Amino acid sequence: MEKFYITTAIDYVNGAPHIGHAYEKILTDVIYRHFTQRCDNTYFLTGTDEHGIKIQKTSAEKGVSPKEFCDMNAQKFKDAWKALDIDYSQFIRTTDEQHEKVVQKIFKKLVDKGDIYKHAYTGLYCSGCEAFLSEKDLTEDGLCPDHLKKPEVVKEENYFFKLTKYKDAIIKHIKTNPDFIIPSFRANEVINQLENIEDISVSRAKTNVNWGIPVLGDDEQVIYVWIDALSNYITALGYDPEGSSEKFKQFWPATVQVIGKDILKFHSIYWIAILMALELPLPEHILAHGWITIDQTKMSKSLGNVISPTSVMEAFNLDIPDPFRYYMASAAPCGKDGNYSDEDFKEKVNAHLANSMGNLLNRTLSMLVKYFDGDIKPEFLGKNSLKEQALDTVKAVKHHFDYIEIQEAALKINELVDITNKYVTDNAPWTLAKEGQMDKCGEVLTNVLQVMTVISSLIYPYCPNIAKAMAEQLSYDLNTKLDDITCESLNAGHLIDKENIKPVFLRLDSELADKKKN
């Protein structure tokens, strides 16, 4: 793999980040971190979408300028991702000066090419979606299906993009590249949407929307979301119709673009058509993830069940985000909906991170100190009956990530933990020590610790802080590429002292955890 470029959807800053935003960013970060373990040339882009009528109206209601409002809310997203250890390479804002200038050039290029034209029309506009809807998009009662409000009739002369010109090319691309849209079952959904596709409005009259990027040469129009927001994926890298940067040439096309299933149409149709019009390569994969419900109920402001990502950490007094990251990343199969509940969160992270994985490392290191003063002797090495299973797990995890099956990869890691726990139970090193079979006891403990180095590498994308704590106690180089893992990284000699053995994750309801947090 020569390079890996992954993007998230950019979040609209009309509100604060919630658990749905966090799910996408964590999912993307886990994918990104995994591929940094396989490729040296990686890039991760996220950011915020900051133009449009909702920003204009909300900022006016709050008595601040749109830019001041965007500055304030964009920082909330940055702070949330910092708290969740989202390791992005770049955070782009659509109010960034460079982005705005390039968007104007993109718009002009498409006008000059004849792919954007001016047209007077009457349309049904939903302010919640910030989009024009057709009659077939509405419910039987004539309401927007997402916001359950009747769209307003808008009469404007705007610029339109010739989406219909690229309809057949998009259909052909989807059909000839079955892994272009992930999960694959969503491809037919997109093809069905393409059947009745129409040209789309890509500007708004300033009399209705003035918070946007001005159209060059037309003081009465601002560039609308499709050209503005969607172009961030290339402007961030330094794309410019007049001459692009080396970074753009290095990383484009995107390897994976991660989005919510509700905006798949815009990314698999609108965005792809824009790229075709610009004569640019298309992204390799578009991952449309599902939604996160709260206690099996869709998040809604009216129901009062919108959860901020940091509130979960605060509620459980977590000093690292790893448990929440692990839970969210493994919440749903690829492309399906997932659910969050406090009880399930507590049960799952206690079972997987504390009881199974953390306890396995802690008790094995403790026995190594108890029976061998923390030393690994030469005779303990070279007979690891768990090695093949560990290396097979590395292959399986890589395979799942190749198909963006993040929950499934986590299950394979847990299987290896369970296999290793069973190995300890079956071989009972405490009994071997009692019977005086010290070489056999040391061999069993060393085998387990060799596997734990592999587990620390595999769990790193989900739980970077826990993985680092594991690797530190094992004197293991966590920068080891997955292709270089041998399950033989530990050498003969002194490994650890009793005072350096610390739980990598305490149960959420343990007395020790409570004391640690007070």
CATH class label, 342-517: mainly alpha
- Report the phi/psi class of residue 462: left, alpha or beta, with left for phi > 0 and alpha for psi in -120 to 50: alpha
Q: Of the candidates 321, 290, 329, 292, which has an alpha carbon nearest to the alpha carbon of residue 407?
A: 329
Return the structure tokens found at 267: 């990314």
Q: What is the pLDDT of residue 305?
A: 59
- Please give the pLDDT value at position 173: 98
The set of catalytic residues is 18, 21, 126, 129, 144, 147, 298, 301
Residue 148 tokens read as: 């359950």
CA distance 77 to 25: 11
Structure tokens at 127: 């302010």
Query: How far are the Cα atoms of 339, 390, 415, 425, 461 from residue 456, in angstroms, in the given order?
Result: 27, 12, 14, 21, 10
- Asked if 410 contacts 462 with a C-beta cutoff of 8 angstroms, the reply is yes
The answer to whether 394 touches 487, Cβ cutoff 8 Å, is no
Note whether 387 and 416 are within 8 A (CB): no
Enter the DSSP assignment of 297: B
For residue 285, the one-letter residue type is H
Question: Do the Cβ atoms of 231 and 103 come closer than 8 Å?
Answer: yes
The token pair at 406 is 């993040």
Q: Specify the 3-state DSSP secondary structure of 376.
A: strand
Q: Which amino acid is at 57?
A: K
Cα dihedral 477, 482, 488, 493, rounded to 10, equals 0
Which residues does 513 contact at the CB level (< 8 Å), separation at least 6?
317, 506, 507
Tell me if the bond preceding 183 is cis, omega within 30° of 0: yes
What's the pLDDT score for residue 517? 45
Query: Nearest-CA neighbor of 20 among 462, 313, 339?
Result: 339
Supply the pLDDT for residue 514: 47
Domain boundaries, the chain: 342-517
Q: Residue 122: its pLDDT value, please?
A: 83
pLDDT at 133: 81
Provide the pLDDT for residue 124.
86
At residue 297, the pLDDT reads 74
Q: How far apart are the first and last CA of the chain?
A: 46
- Tell me which residue has tokens 């959420």: 508
Among 131, 247, 265, which residue's Cα sits nearest to residue 197? 265
Return per-residue pLDDT of the chain as tens, 518 residues: 899 999 999 999 998 999 999 999 999 999 999 999 999 999 999 999 999 999 999 999 999 999 999 999 999 999 999 999 999 999 999 999 999 999 999 999 999 999 999 998 887 888 777 777 888 788 888 898 877 888 888 888 999 999 999 999 999 999 999 999 999 999 999 999 999 899 999 999 999 899 999 999 999 999 999 999 999 999 999 999 999 999 999 999 999 999 999 999 999 999 999 999 999 999 999 999 999 988 877 756 655 657 888 899 999 999 999 999 999 999 999 899 999 999 999 999 999 999 999 999 999 999 999 999 999 999 999 889 999 999 999 999 999 999 999 999 999 999 999 999 999 999 999 999 999 999 999 999 999 999 999 999 999 999 999 999 999 999 999 999 999 999 999 999 999 999 999 999 999 885 444 445 44
Alpha helical stretches, state H, 281-405 = 309-315, 322-329, 342-349, 359-372, 387-402
Rg (CA), the chain: 26
